[in-house]
Amino acid sequence: MNPQKVRPSVVDTRLDATRQVEGHLRVPFHPSSAAVARRQLRLWLTRHGAGTRVPDFEDLVDCAELVVSELVGNAIRHAQPVQGGVLTLCWSLSPDGLVVSVTDGGSALVPHRVDAPPSAQSGRGMAIVDSLTKRWWTELTAERATVHALIAPG
């Protein structure tokens, strides 16, 4: 898939009665999409005034950027794209924190933490996610896999 064919943009942003703000992003199934996702997430959080509602905003954003990079990287490395050759990302910000979700076309493997030895060149992605989040979980269907991660402020 040519990464230039899908133009990433954040859409469907709203504020609902629970004071939850959401954003959605489609990115090409390509390694460069991790950088795009990080940049778009930071812009979205800043644009929606998250810094005024979330304690330790910069720390939360830094963690979110690393978590989204790991989730997108794992999807590219281990899964298939969803229809259209893309990954879909969603995030929601509420008083409880930021939930970041990455959906791919699924894989034979279920995302899980691996305790990689220091000499390993890979295998630390979900361990990083685990250490930076309050919790993470997966939703699997026959056609899709979504990994969600809750990043709590403070």
**pLDDT on residue 101:** 97
**pLDDT on residue 12:** 47
What is the band of 19 on the pLDDT scale with cuts at 50, 70, 90? low
**pLDDT on residue 50:** 61
Structure tokens at 96: 């409880």
**pLDDT on residue 2:** 52
Q: 35-42: long-range contacts (C-beta < 8 A, 24 or more apart)?
A: 35/69, 36/8, 37/8, 37/68, 37/69, 37/72, 37/89, 38/65, 38/68, 38/69, 40/8, 40/9, 40/10, 41/65, 41/68, 41/89, 41/91, 41/100
Q: What is the pLDDT of residues 57-95, one digit of tens each?
A: 888 889 999 999 999 999 999 999 999 999 999 998 877
Residue listed under structure tokens 């304690």 = 55
Q: What is the pLDDT of residues 99-154, one digit of tens each?
A: 999 999 999 888 877 787 777 676 678 989 999 999 999 999 999 999 999 998 77
